[in-house]
Amino acid sequence: MATLQPQIGTVPLMNADTGLPLPQRFWAIVFVSLGTILAVLDGAIANVALPTIARDLHASDAASIWIVNAYQIAITITLLPLASLGDRVGYRRIYIAGLALFTVASLGCALASSLPTLAAMRVIQGFGASGIMSVTAALVRTIYPSSMLGRGVSVNAMVVALSFAIGPTVASAVLSVASWPWLFAINVPIGVAAVLGGLRALPANPLHDAPYDVLSALMNACVFGLLIMAADGLGYGERGAFIVAELTIASVVGYFFVKRQLSQPAPLLPVDLMRIPLFTLSICTSIASFTSQMLAFVALPFWLQNVLGFSQVQTGLYMTPWPLVIVVAAPLAGALSDRYSAGALGGIGLALFAGGLLSLATIGAHPGTVDIVWRMALCGAGFGLFMAPNNRAILLSAPRKRSGSAGGMLSTARLTGQTLGTALVALIFGVAPEHGPTIALYVAAASAAAAAIVSTLRIAAPHLNASV
């Protein structure tokens, strides 16, 4: 029987080996999941509402893109700085502060009456979402005992995947009965409940006493911000000179940024963790797999509607098997990851994912319902089998006191892959508009296959048995 944890006031303290006892563990993961749902879902629903928002705020389609970009850039440039800060001041404090800021900014988005105001609120909302996502994985590691970490990670992986997958459906449902401000207003009561619950349920953790490197945080923001802007510019046809300038500045600052990290005892960019083969291979697997996922998710609606001729409603229904199967596959993968190699499980899952994408790209001109459904389900099963073992490997390959940095890299890898995927789709559509969706599916299948190969390299990676 699990023993009760000592507390500071009403804050439970985690034990490095046993995590939190039940029922505290249950409530802690519930409130972590609530915040994760809000942060991930809000990044997905805005895409669907862009035309409506642009029309209501009398903005151009090109300008409205900043509603999405502002949120994405704010998250990406602050993920690693906030994760590193979490190691020093506590993951619980960063998470709750981020959730509170996200909730307040959501209200600001709902009340915004102009595009500049809405974009500014989205920046603040992105900072809050970054506070949530930067320490979520580290919190999961403090909540669950080491022997059950795979199951805890699988819950988080399932929440992230489902929130991202159902974002367009949720947005469409809300817009069918209400105006676009309600997409943000519904976050407020949920956010308040999550903050109040998190104050009582989330555990404290041992703190890192290394000084915080403010200059590294600023350099990190510059490098990642410019890289995202360059990737977006490449996809949306920005002038080549601007893209080259952005990449050049990012490269120069990035060189000095990495050089500075090599001299730090607990670097903000965890270059010390990148020396661990399992950690590096898992990060690379994550980037390639999420690039593939975003390629597919952006291209599939165009493929189903423009290539196969289905309606919007049919498109939503045909894409539903993907997230539904993840609900089944992710918990199973989490349980298996506590017993089997992440390299093997991830390799099998990503091979299935690649096979599903390839089978969609080659399905033919007149597929039946069953033909589409089983292929979508195969994609969901493969991706669901990969995520939990991969995330578990990233967390456990890092020392416990660096859980925040490891979790920050996990989220950064996911967002980097999604950004690359979006840019690649836009580039493919620009070069080959007639066959763009099909080509994007082929590229997604190739990226998933590459991720599968990288994943299997972890089977022989040093420290694999000790860490996983």
Q: How confident is the model at residue 189, as a pLDDT?
A: 94
Q: How confident is the model at residue 465 (pLDDT cuts 50, 70, 90)?
A: very low
Tell me the C-alpha to C-alpha distance, in Å, between residue 45 and each of 36, 181, 221, 382.
14, 12, 25, 24
Least confident interval from 2-6, 129-133, 248-252: 2-6
Residue whose tokens read 């967002």:
415
In whole angstroms, what is the distance from residue 181 CA to residue 422 CA? 25
Instruction: Describe the crossing of helices 369-396 and 277-302 by its angle, rounded to 10 degrees.
Output: 160
- Whether residue 315 is predicted with pLDDT greater than 80 in this model: the reply is no
Tokens describing residue 335:
């349980």
> Could you tell me the pLDDT band of residue 190, with boundaries at 50, 70 and 90?
very high
- Over residues 278-299, mean pLDDT: 90
Short-list 197, 149, 207, CA closest to 28: 197
Can you list the pairs that 245-249 forms with residues at least 24 positions away whose Cβ atoms lie under 8 Å?
249/222
Helix or strand holding residue 388 (H, E): helix 369-396
Give the pLDDT confidence score for residue 184 in this predicted structure. 93
4-62 confidence digits (pLDDT tens): 333 334 555 555 556 788 888 889 999 999 999 998 888 777 766 777 888 888 877 66
Q: Model confidence over 383-435: pLDDT tens digits? A: 989 888 898 888 888 887 777 788 888 888 888 888 888 778 878 887 787 78
pLDDT at 282 over 60: yes
Global model pTM greater than 0.75:
yes
Cα dihedral sign, 283-263-84-20: positive
Q: How confident is the model at residue 219 (pLDDT cuts 50, 70, 90)?
A: very high
What mean pLDDT is predicted for residues 136-160?
83
Can you tell me the distance from the alpha carbon of 231 to that of 224, in angstroms, rounded to the nearest whole number?
11
For tokens 């989205």, the residue is 122
Sign of CA dihedral 175, 178, 179, 182: negative
| Amino acid 117: pLDDT | 93
- Range 350-354 average pLDDT: 96
pLDDT at 273: 86
CA distances from 413 to 57, 101, 213, 282, 371 (A): 34, 24, 22, 10, 32
Q: Name 263's Cβ contacts closer than 8 Å, sequence gap at least 6.
A: none
Confidence band for 312, pLDDT divided at 50, 70 and 90: low
| The pair of three-digit structure tokens given for residue 148, joined into one six-digit string | 């059950």
In the prediction, which pLDDT does 447 show?
95
Average pLDDT over residues 352-381: 91
As a whole number, mean pLDDT of residues 90-116 equals: 94
The percentage of the chain sitting over the pLDDT mark of 90, rounded to a whole number, equals: 30
**Residue recorded with tokens 């099909």:** 438
- 3 state SS of 202: coil
pLDDT at 287: 93
How far is the C-alpha of 128 from the C-alpha of 78, rounded, in Å?
A: 10
pLDDT band at 468 (very low <50, low <70, confident <90, very high): very low
Asked if pLDDT for residue 379 goes beyond 80, the answer is yes
Average pLDDT over residues 287-299: 89
Per-residue pLDDT at 464: 44
Please tell me which residue, 63 or 276, carries the higher pLDDT value: 276
Question: Picking from 248-252, 395-399, 445-449, 450-454, which range would have the lowest pLDDT averaged per residue?
Answer: 395-399
Q: CA dist 379 to 232, 293, 296, 365, Å?
A: 26, 9, 10, 20
Task: Determine the Cα–Cα distance for residues 449 and 343; give it in Å rounded to an integer.
Answer: 14
Residue 461 has a pLDDT of 60
Instruction: Please check whether residue 396 is in contact with residue 412, taking contact to mean a CB–CB distance below 8 angstroms.
Output: no
Nearest-angstrom CA–CA distance, 426 and 147:
43
